[in-house]
Chains A and B, each alone.
Chain A
């Protein structure tokens, strides 16, 4: 086959995808970088160059900094929790002999549910502020007083709502990842350890299971990290209302949404600058966590 023929065939296969990637990923990124240096209020074809003013704006905007800060803390909390709980689930499911497929399905089922539907259940029923809400009913059994879960800012009870919703939605997915990794660990390693006199339990877990899960752990950590900064759906639907979004627990994406598209000003220059800063923050966090992980190994 001639070189030209090969090139033609290659582009026949890859071309349509490559064009799309160019149009809907590369062009937007470049355009966004361009917009971030202009006063692009209410327009996508701005003419007024403003240098780094948009960057200075977002980097001195308390709302934006708060959103980055809050979600760094959020990531620091949700990642270990998710890893610990989904790994526990995977170990449990892996150990039971009867009805294993059933329980695996039950834990995995929330993956099919959208964040919007989960937000509805959490907001209007599980953590509704009225006495008949599920959480308040349970509190009532123990003689506790009803709480306005989402409405209570001090202490920030709304985090209980947001975090339980996210855990419910994502634990099953990560459990499947861990389960697959667990099943890839060769049985003979456990047998050898047993022969060597390693006690079943913590010792085998520490020396056989955990090293075998290394790849899955890295995948779970990275995905979780990126997802923590990209949180939007349940935050918007649980805390947002017909008048907008309160100033707390505001994810970077909610900030970007209101800044560039919502009632917050239609400021695409500022929104683009914010998007680029966010991309850098995520890249940096991913890099740092990778470094830490490697050192821990």
Chain B
């Protein structure tokens, strides 16, 4: 069937309707001399927004406008990339689909001799088919924070297996305090990956050619989230990424980001302990997820060259900005080894321990080949298992099917 209606013939039709003439397919027209548009998701830490606006204003090469995006940022980026030239620069983690659709441009030439200074696994995670599409901005990780005093009072040792975690969560749940807070969705969003790793599994197989959770132990692992469900804090005013629930004492333990370490230590002082996500059994492993929002350039930007030059200036050349961005507002690990030494809050105490977790058992949380549709299918399945008590094996079979389709599609 060779029927083709291309865009031009539509525009001709639209022109007949008196509608064209003012339209182009590049979103906002994207005049090459307009400002560069730079999008960030909304960081929860105070001061980040002021800082990135300050960096943008300081750039001598062009006028840069920063847009702050609270809400469902991932959906927004996907739609914006499809739609046109805005934003020119954005932070995200690369997806193979974007590369296949030629929506982002390779950035290898920006690194120069700094390439070896970036943490290798981060660069790898933003690389598709040998080309680098994102410059890592800072390393984020998530850990289990707990109140030492509450565990001691209940006579519980820091949990080292998933079963111990379930047990501790149940026993720490008392009137007015829940055992664990892992997000208002009952941990579905943030614990899916650590649970897979706890069973020695992953989203994708080693070579990335098959789903990595075609194993009955995946069902066992997600079943544990169901066991946890009744002792989790749900309906908190802020979500997992904010330390509020833990700081206010609504939960004895919280799974949240390294970035909240300063606020948590300020609230609870020495009473704070940190742990990686425990292992399910002997064949699994402890883990902490490692992610790095990376700066990318929209291939349909009206001025790709200018956009790339700005990214190079901000995320390769301006080491002082990068250090401040990573360490001054919340705690993040700098993405470059030479800057890591300057990360003040990470030199001792829980911060130091977390750095060790990352080195020892950090795992990439959002592989480029793991598509958003596959991810939706898996997280729907986990949600039904954990929150509605659905049969884990059956749910996972359906998710596996979607994941296989998606992998096949990427390789077509």
Contact = CB atoms under 8 A, between A and B. Distances in A.
A111 to B, nearest CB: 26
B74 A263 contact: yes
Given A19-B18, A130-B250, 4 more contacts: A19-B17, A154-B389, A243-B74, A264-B75
Interface stretch (A2-10, A70-78, A94-102, A143-151): A143-151
B184 A150 contact: yes
Contacts, number: 116
Interface of A: 19, 22-23, 27, 34, 42, 44-45, 47, 49, 62-63, 124, 128-131, 147-154, 240-244, 246-248, 258, 261-267
Interface in B168-194: 176, 184-186, 188-189
B341 to A, nearest CB: 33
> Which 9 A-B pairs give the minimum distances between C-beta atoms?
A129-B235, A151-B234, A148-B235, A148-B234, A262-B75, A247-B380, A49-B1, A153-B387, A263-B75
Contact of B101 (A23, A42, A241, A243): A42
Interface in B328-350: none
A242 B239 contact: yes
Interface string B340-372: 000000000000000000000000000000011
Contacts of A243: 72, 74, 185, 189
Contacts of A264: 75, 372-373, 376
Interface in B379-412: 379-380, 383-384, 387-389, 398
Given A130-B236, A148-B234, A148-B235, A258 B73 contact: no
A154 B186 CA distance: 12
A148 B239 CA distance: 13
A243 B7 CA distance: 33
B387 A23 contact: no
Interface of B: 1, 3-7, 10, 13-14, 17-19, 41, 70-75, 78-79, 82, 97, 101, 103, 176, 184-186, 188-189, 233-237, 239, 250, 371-373, 376, 379-380, 383-384, 387-389, 398
B3 A49 contact: yes
Given A148-B235, A150-B235, A154-B389, A240 B10 contact: no
Given A45-B10, A63-B380, A124 B373 contact: no
A63 B384 CA distance: 12
Contacts of A244: 72, 74-75, 376, 379
Given A23-B19, A263-B78, A263-B372, A47 B387 contact: no
Contact of B234 (A19, A34, A152): A152
A63 B74 CA distance: 20
Contact of A248 (B82, B235, B250, B388): B388
Nearest to A44: B7
B376 A153 contact: no
B40 to A, nearest CB: 13
B237 A128 contact: yes
Contacts of B19: 23
Contact of A258 (B82, B239, B376, B384): B376
Instruction: Give the residue among A49, A128, A240, A263 with the most B Cβ atoms within 10 A.
Output: A263
In this complex, the member of A128, A149, A246 whose beta carbon has the largest number of chain B beta carbons within 10 angstroms is A246
Nearest to B406: A265
9 contacts: A27-B13, A42-B97, A42-B103, A148-B184, A148-B234, A154-B387, A242-B72, A247-B380, A263-B372
A204 B385 CA distance: 53
Given A244-B376, A265-B372, A47 B235 contact: no
B17 A23 contact: yes
Contacts of A246: 185, 188, 380, 383, 387
